Amino acid sequence: MRRILVADDDADILDVLRFVLAQEGYEVLTTMDGLEAERIALQEAPNLIIIDAVMPGKSGWRVCESLKSSPGMGHIPIIILSGWSQTKDIERGKEVGADDVVVKPFDIEDLVRRVKALEERSTGGSREQG
């Protein structure tokens, strides 16, 4: 099964993303802490990560930068969710290696489209079915 890690310190966002992504056929791992997100990513090697930019423990920016430079983890697509200005965040996202930056509030259908596009790009168009 395709596995996504979602890390956000907003329980409502976690619940909505868990529900919507599960409906799309993903196994969804969740956490509300940046350090925990990094630990889960290293242990579980999800197919994709969605992480909030501002998290307790460790920011999403720093988690992304750390994972992208970790052996065996750099290929995993990472989407950063941010409540800050889009231009600034897109630049920062590029600096830390994010594959996409989505500004809050976001359209859930648009986010799902972005997830699917990144997944297809990272797997060369063939999605693992579980």
Burial class (CB in 10 A: 0-12, 13-18, 19+), 1: exposed
Distance CA 37, CA 40 (A): 5
- pTM (2 decimals)? 0.91
For the chain (130 residues), the mean pLDDT of every run of 10, in chain order, is 93 96 97 98 97 95 96 94 80 91 93 94 59
Looking at residue 101, what is its pLDDT?
Answer: 92
Domains of the chain: 3-122 (3.40.50.2300)
